[in-house]
Each structure stands twice: as structure tokens, then as C-alpha cells.
Structure 1
């Protein structure tokens, strides 16, 4: 039976792009999956894998999750109690940490200890938001989600905030933008990318395919 992959709809993120990238990654990997875009808490609860895209402000995305009846509870139980594989994209990754400091302080999901705060490159010539293609440095190259990725993969970023105060063991990859920036984090059955995996061409499709095959 095909696995169900729920791309969570809470009013944020490029849902169609994420869903199509997952379908393409599944075809490339020869996997049979059913990708659904949904904000229905019951469908999220019964899905085999969860993907949380996100774009915009941290606090707005948090409020978006809370605004959909039962969605946050269903997502938390699926990931933290039932240990279903989870993939956060951009702000969907940022929400995994303890809190975000953007237009005030906002609680995150607190699944991985850390803080999301404004990106402040040491080079004042570097623009904010950080937008464009950057090279990944794999800090945990043996993690299954990184299988088949090389040492100089390029992926696509669009962000003004990043993750700090995080344990080194939770960082799977970094990039450089006037200092190190967490590009991929992971713990237990959870992974997240600061960059847009769905827009990162071959490297992004490889990551998504690895996620679909991952048995944490």
C-alpha cells in the first residue's frame, strides 16, 4: 500500500511546489506514495509522513498553525508521540525550535532546543534577506537524509532569520553567509531545511527522496 505524505496547509508556504517536488522525488526513487495537501487534523493524524512548508514571519506561521482546529495537536502527536517522519521547510524548519525572535518573541514547537533570530552577517556588504544559491557543508554526512549528496551541493535560500543556540549534534549541514548558518537540522524522526528543498533542483530532490525512504 502506498504511503501517504501530508503536506500541511496552514496558510503558509508554497504548497503546490512542495507537493509536486515530493511526487517527482518519489518517481525518481521508484516509490509509490500518495501526496496530499491538507489542513485537516484527522488526515494529518493518519498520514505516514508529514511535511511542513513555511514562508513569512515566524509568529504569523505559528498563529496559522493554531488557527486550524486540532491541527497543532494532531501534528505534535504524530511527530512526538507516534514518531512519524517529519520534514520542515524554511519557516517550517524554524518552527521546530524553542522560540523565534521576529517582531517580538514567539513560542516555537520546542521539538529541538534553539532560537530563531535575525541573520546578521559579519560582512556588511551581504544583503538581507539572504537570497540565492549557496553551497552546503555536510556536518553529519552519514545521516541517511544526506545519502548521495556531495561535498559542494548548491541549494536555494530565501530567508532573513536563522537558527542559533542549537546543539552541534542537531546540525546536519551548514552554509556560509557572513558566518556559519544552519542549513539542515535533525533529531530523532525530524529533519528540516532552512533552504527551499522543493526549489533546489537535483540536490533538493535527492533530499526529498531520501526522506521518503528514511526509516528512522
Structure 2
């Protein structure tokens, strides 16, 4: 065996060895992350008298609890297509049958729904709110009625500056494009979503 072949074999073995170590580290980190999520969801389950469950074919847990006799699901999902980024979401049955999207964020350049030309940026005529958040929606009147002054206050107080609400038939999903890993983050997202639900009930 000449020196060139020997070097190639050594390089190949080195690559396999490094790849094995990298895979081991990634698995350990993912397990640690999953364990932290389970612990976090356990705390939230105690607060809401709920249960921590697991989806089939998913490494992450999800939280299920009741709010005014309606099931609320808090979990993690991954986007599809170009938007594969992970996000945290709260799902609840909506008392209003509606098909609408509302996106609130700090940057006007991303306050859109991709190629959805029906989406429109609006102002809520609250200077403090309008100066910090851009609102984009495909149903202006509905968005104005839903994002009440009390909900605006919550969003500003919690510093939830990038959130998407999607109303699809009788479902409401509130999502933040990041993996929340703090109890306060989950509590704030859940609180805002339930406030939206209460507002829908009030208007219904």
C-alpha cells in the first residue's frame, strides 16, 4: 500500500470518527433540550391543571389543558417549504367561524404573508402601539375589532413583538417563530391567545 492510499484511509477514518463525535454531541444536546421542555411543560401543566403528552413521530412534548371547557394545546411545530423554521404555537377552538390572518411584528418589511396580495398593513390609532408594532391582515375590520386596547396593552407589556394569529373556520392558532424555552414566554403567549379568545366570545 503506497503512502497516498494510506493517507486517504487515515483521512476517511478521521472523518468517520469526527462525524460520530458530532452526532453524539447533537443527540445529547437534543435529549437535553427535550428534557428541559418536558420539565417546563410539567410546570405549566401544574399551573393550568393540564397534562403533558407526546405526539406520534415527534421528539417534543405538548401541553393540553382546559379553558372554560375548551381544550387548549401548546406545542412546537416546524414550518413547511421555504419556511422550515421552528415555532411555538397555542391552538384553541374559536367561537367565531372565520378565515383570517393577522401578523404583528416590529419590522414593516416582514409584516406580510408572502405572496398574499390581499394582506394589508393597518394602524390601530394608538401611537404607542403603532410606533412599536406593524400590523398586517387580510381582514381589516375584523383585526381592528379583535385587537382591543387591553390586548394591545398586553402585547406591549409582554414585549410580544412578532406573533401570527390565524383564524381558520373554527380554529384559532397563535404562533411565534421561535422555540420558547422559558416559563414566562409560554405564559405570555398563552395569556394573549386566551385574551383573543375572550374577545371573540365578547363579540360573538
Same fold (TM over 0.5): no
* Superposition TM-score, scaled by structure 1 size: 0.30
Structure with the bigger percentage of helix:
2
Which has the higher Rg, Structure 1 or Structure 2? 2
State TM-score, norm by structure 2: 0.31
